[in-house]
Amino acid sequence: MAHKPLHEQVIVVTGASSGIGLATARMAAERGARVVLAARSEDVLARVADELGPKAAYVVADVGRREDVQAIAAKAMATFGGFDTWVNVAGLTVYGPLREITHEDHERLIRTNLWGTVNGSLVAVEHLRERGGALINVGSIASDLAFPFQGLYATSKHAVKGFTDTVRMELIAEGAPVSVTLVKPASIDTPLPNRARNYMDREPTLPPPIYPPEEVANAILHAAVHPQRDIFVGGGGKMFVMGKEFAPGAYDELAPAIIALQKRSERPRDPEGALHAPRHAGAVRGDPPVPVMRTSAYTRATLHPLATAAVLAAGLVATAAVIIGTRPGPRR
């Protein structure tokens, strides 16, 4: 299944006021797409829409509310006549032991991360099954891995994976012209830890290696035109998932190290975070205490497997030629 070129598309992006969502909206507009931005922070959305010009529209929305998500679709219809790709990015996290986190905080996280994806997907598919297009959900390597001290985040991302796979299968069964992609980023340099609800005694961070948000945005926009079932962003994350599948018990034993890698040395800056109200939006990147990878060679290779195979084949031929050329000839 192939879709329209990006410059002919209208793309809806939730969670568009920071991090991956904001990076995706900007990159889509730079590549010629029209974009509909959705998030809770009206001031940031207005500023970004003004920056992007007439190709952008915005809706203030809490994706945990079905009526707000319906309003996003209505805005896309009223402004651009519909949409071709819907990207569910909106997400939050909570750091701390499960036993210490309140029910209200657990419920709010699930309402945003899971129900926001469910609401966005179901609303999008009702529109897309008539005209065709792409549904792209942003999960995480936490869709496949557990992370102690981010337990409900991992729970929500596991659920997003199960839901996304089910939506895909049902669309295939009915023959709908809609592709469904799950993007699974590893640690990404966004403000996610800075905006998290934090129960720990230290400022939170993400375990390395950490990749730039533009790598995720590029993968999302690639899937909008050339659908793929799943895309891992970050070879380091893929290796962790493979290791856990190979030796799940050994991965469990890494719990103390994983907890330690999620703590900075400094005291918490803003423990309340943006879980219950929009705060500190507007930035694409965070401020991780370790260097950020420039790109993900693994992800770029998976987006262009034929080109990668051709390069590898050419390399093998060249290597073989060198070996043959340097092999000593037969003795006479």
pLDDT tens column, 79-134: 999 999 999 999 999 999 999 999 999 999 999 999 999 999 999 999 999 999 99
Are residues 261 and 312 part of one domain?
no
Are residues 291 and 168 part of one domain?
yes
The total number of structural domains in the chain stands at 2
Residue owning tokens 């000593």: 328
Are residues 164 and 304 part of one domain?
no
Are residues 66 and 54 part of one domain?
yes
Q: Where are any strands of DSSP class E within 139-263?
A: 178-185, 187-188, 197-198, 210-211, 230-233
Are residues 110 and 94 part of one domain?
yes
Check which CATH number belongs to the domain holding 94 and give it.
Answer: 3.40.50.720
Q: What is the pTM of this model?
A: 0.92
What single string gives the DSSP state of each residue in 289-317? Answer: SSPPPS--HHHHHHHSHHHHHHHHHHHHH
For residue 261, what are the domain limits?
6-295
Those residues whose C-beta lies under 8 Å from the C-beta of residue 1, and which sit 6 or more positions away, are 177, 179, 227
pLDDT tens column, 222-262: 999 999 999 999 999 999 999 999 999 999 999 999 999 99
pLDDT band at 324 (very low <50, low <70, confident <90, very high): low
Q: Would you say residue 260 lies in a domain?
A: yes
Active site residues: 153
